[in-house]
Amino acid sequence: MTVSAHLTEWHGLPVFDFPDAKSTTELPAAAEAAWRIAVDPYDDDPEKWPAAFARFLAAVDTTEVTALIVGQWGEAYDVSVDIVVEALTAARDRFPALRALFIGDITFEQAEITWIEQGDITPLLDAFPDLLAFGVRGGQNLAFPAVAHQSLRTLIVEAGGLGADVVRGIGASEFPELEHLDIWLGTSWYGADATVDDLEPFLTGTRLPKLQHLALRNSDIQDDVAAALAGAPVVARLHTLDLSMGTLGNEGVEALLGGQPLTHLRKLDLHHHFIGEPLADRLLAELTADGVEVDLSGREAADRGREDRYTAVSE
């Protein structure tokens, strides 16, 4: 599996691609769309992303924009996200209604997820204190020093390999309103080096008093993550636990079944896994009887050892 499609909806709004300079496409009302601003570096006469963003500022009533998406901003393996961060932070006063921002809506046909040149994206959280949802795709040179944000409810970090420093930075951040946390940890082949110890702030949930949806997924240490969650205090107040897209096998599921009750969950998402059929059947029998939705789709060969398993999204 790869990231093969762009976002079609963001913050409850349909995505609209801001057209290029030659287009005569009619624009929707500013508040009725999640606006995606992207450029194609392979055009005959490619536009730079800051120029496209300047056109957007001139053409759209940005005081009414609530959701914004940044797509390809250049040759993603070569051009850093810094040009985007600088342009958006400079225009912060133009977006008083902005509540949702996603950086890096880039598919594998444009750049593999591990090629996307990120950087320090936390200035965007400082620039937009009223954001409710923030997402970023790509882990190459991604930096996330600890921040405090009083409004954020959803945080999404998608990577094929996430550095431990990023995981620690997120864990040390203060997000008192956060309800939905989705982190793709990735594989060591592409830079993932976080350990279960680095996940401790998420497992205790001390800095996340309102967390209800926790996804620690797309990981090659998924069994270890599951074992840690089996006794983690945060689980008791979740409605959704997501350990999908990783290398989860029998060991991790046995730990979950032997740990604290999971019958209070609305959903347990384990899709793309390496769990044997007998144990999968047991898990379903124990949880679905209490109304828990369990996603066990995408079973891979359960007899693979840990070293032979793979995450759903890597390169």
The reply to whether 84 and 20 lie within a common domain is yes
- Number of structural domains found in the chain: 2
The reply to whether 2 and 52 lie within a common domain is yes
The reply to whether 180 and 264 lie within a common domain is yes
Q: Is residue 251 part of a domain?
A: yes
Give the span between the Cα atoms of 142 and 137, in whole angstroms: 9
The reply to whether 166 and 261 lie within a common domain is yes
Q: Is residue 114 part of a domain?
A: no
Q: Is residue 62 part of a domain?
A: yes
The reply to whether 93 and 207 lie within a common domain is no
pLDDT for 307 equals 81
Going from the C-alpha of 112 to that of each of 144, 190, 311, the distances in angstroms are 21, 11, 14
* Domain hosting residue 299, numbered range: 144-315
CATH number at 208 reads 3.80.10.10
- Give CA 86 to chain center in angstroms: 22
Q: Are 288 and 261 in contact (CB under 8 A)?
A: no
The reply to whether 159 and 97 lie within a common domain is no
Q: Domain end: 108, 134, 162, which one?
A: 108
Q: Is residue 290 part of a domain?
A: yes
Q: Domain end: 108, 135, 164, which one?
A: 108
Going from the C-alpha of 209 to that of each of 164, 206, 237, the distances in angstroms are 23, 6, 9
pLDDT for 1 equals 60
The reply to whether 305 and 174 lie within a common domain is yes
The reply to whether 245 and 301 lie within a common domain is yes
Q: Domain end: 57, 90, 108, which one?
A: 108
Q: Is residue 128 part of a domain?
A: no
Q: Are 47 and 23 in contact (CB under 8 A)?
A: no
Q: Is residue 123 part of a domain?
A: no
> pLDDT tens per residue, the chain (315 residues)?
678 899 999 999 999 999 998 888 999 999 999 999 999 998 878 899 999 999 999 999 999 999 999 999 998 788 899 999 999 999 999 999 999 999 999 999 998 999 999 999 999 999 999 999 999 999 999 999 999 999 999 999 999 999 999 999 999 999 999 999 999 999 999 999 999 999 999 999 999 999 999 999 999 999 999 999 999 999 999 999 999 999 999 999 999 999 999 999 999 999 999 999 999 999 999 999 999 999 999 999 877 777 889 999 988
Q: Is residue 19 part of a domain?
A: yes
Going from the C-alpha of 278 to that of each of 224, 259, 274, 289, 300, the distances in angstroms are 21, 19, 12, 17, 14
Helix (H) or strand (E) segment spanning residue 285: helix 277-288
Q: Is residue 263 part of a domain?
A: yes
Q: Give the alpha-carbon dihedral of 197, 202, 206, 208, to 10 degrees.
A: 160
